[in-house]
Structure formats: C-alpha cells, structure tokens
Structure 1
Amino acid sequence: MALKEGNQKEKTLRCQLDTGATCNVMSVSDFKRIGRLIKPSRARLKLYDGTTLKPIGQAKLRAEYRELELELEFQIVEGQQMPLLSADTCTRLKLITLNTVNQMQVKGLTTEQIVEQYSDVFEGLGCLAGEYHIEIDESVKPVQHLPRRVPVPLKAELKEKIEELEKKKVIARVTKPTDWISSMVVVKKATKMRIKDFP
C-alpha cells in the first residue's frame, strides 16, 4: 500500500490486516520513512494479551490502494511492529468483505430452521483454503514446559478428544523432541471438553 504525508513523496509499505483492531498502528521507525508530523495521542491500545500500550503520538497519512485513496489516522508506537490496518480500514479499502445475516430474514424462524437454512455456517472446522506463512522471531529463546497433571477421571475422555482432533487433522502426532513445548490445560464445561494451549 502506498502512504504519504501531505506533499511528501509516497512510500510503499507492506501492512498486516487485523480485523480485531479498532485503529491503525505503525511503528515510529516506519513512520519516519514517510512523514514528520506526529501529534499527541490520548489513545490507550489494548493488546491481545490484555496489556495496554501508550502510543508516542498519532499521525494522518494519505493511503492509496488500487483505485482507492483515503486519509487514515495511525497510532504511532515504539518497536518494530509491521503496520496494522484496522477492521474499518480493511473494509473501506475493500481488502475484506463483511457478510451479515439480515435480521428480517431470520425473524420468526426456529433454531432448527436457522441451522438448516444457513447450514454452511455451522459445518466444518472453520478452516481457510490455502496455506498460511508464520514469521518466526529467531532471537526468541524456545520454551519447554513440563507436562501438567490431568485429573484421573478426565484421562480417558482426554485421550478420546486427542484422537478425535488427530483424525480431523487439527493436530499431528509428534514422535521426536521439539524445541517448543507448551503446557496443555484441560477445561471441562458441562458436556464439553476443551483443550487449551497455556503460554
């Protein structure tokens, strides 16, 4: 995406789409390649892990993507973070589409009728087509957690759950040592069992 400040020469930056974000975010090092004018910001950014981050300021940049041109506000932060585009920006730039069910269409329908009419929404594991590339920070030291104890009454059900996930190819069996080992936490709710990865 091409970005510029005022009459400055535009720069092309690769951005990450974050449909969970409510604002656009850019590192100060990336911003310095594009503009100079940073205004004070009163925002507090809440990160995925629950912590908060205070931006060093905010800036307005002109963004061009294909035939679209928008003025976007970015929160400027310390660090080496790839620029993030919020859900609203992604929608306005037509990078994503938001599909909703019209409430008038489902008014008066039973749960069974809704599930039958929109069966494609309730089937499968929510997998996306294609492959996803994950960038790994090689400077981060691998963590190897010790196994957590599983209550004896849950062991048989846990084994069945793991075998089910393996058959569905959600997880894969590992038979040799790995650099990273995360703790597994078993949560039993009513008739369902959930397996969580504990960082």
Structure 2
Amino acid sequence: MLIPHTYVAKGVSDTLISFTTAEALSLVRICYNVSTGTSLNKILDEYSDRFEGIGKLADATCKLHVNSDVTPVSQPHRRAPFKVRKKVEAELKRLKSLDIIEPVKDTPTPWVSPVRVVTKPTRPNEIRLCVDMRAPNKAIQKEQHVSPTIDDKNSQSQWRYYLLEARS
C-alpha cells in the first residue's frame, strides 16, 4: 500500500482527503454491526429519578418574539359538556397542585385561547385538557437556527493536514 505524503498548511481552507486514504490511514473504518452495549432498562434503572412523575422545566424563563403586526385574538370560551364538568374541575385542581398550571392574574389579557375537553383514547374515564393555540401561534415569530455540520466545523480549524493520494 502506498502511503500518501502529508502536507501541513496554516490557514483556513477545505480538507483534501479521499475515503480510500482515510481508510488506509485508519482514520475511518466501516462498521456493519452497531451495538451500544447499554440496554434501555439499564438506563432507566440508573437514572430512575429523572423518569419519575411529570417532567417540567422549573425556574426558567422564555422570551417569545411576538409579531406586533398581528392583531391579538380573544377567542370565545368553549363550554364543557355537563357530563364531564366535575372531571374538568378535578383535573384543573390536580394540574394546579402539581404546579403545571397557575391561575391567570386579574389583569385583562388581549390573547385568550379556549380549552377543549377530550377523553383519553386508552382510558375513556379520564379526560385531557387541550388548549387551541392556533391563533397565538400565528403571532409568534419562529427563530431560525441552523446547526453547523461537521464540514462547517472542520473548515473553521486553523491548521490542516492535506493528504494527497499518489498513484504510480
């Protein structure tokens, strides 16, 4: 096997190396059988405290960028059917006791979204409270974040190894 010459150059530019050369220099290898060696049950046992109860992000703030050109919408209240009103009250108390929801302050708000009561498909005796956020979502500006690729990170390095294949 012919080992290519290596050239080191200072500066920022693309890396020149073929897959054949990278494989010959043991920089990459082909692996056909991937095994993590860690089972899901082992992870669940080891980190069981992180998988208990309802997950929530406490003591964190979030800044929503709202488009001021969008007119706030106060949607009408959807009345819960009589047969589930006691369940709705119980669910609201439960969510409040778990610190998942909190009462709205007495100050008026221009944005109001209705709650829809849905029975859970696998447990028909239980309900789920769903908020219709279609109107507010139209006003929230989506942040664009593009994750860098490996090539992006490689091109930011100051030193490069140039591997050129020499064929005779």
TM-score (norm 2): 0.47
Larger fraction in helix: 2
| Larger RCO (CA under 8 A, 6+ residues apart) | 2
TM-score (norm 1): 0.40
Question: Whose Rg is larger?
Answer: 2
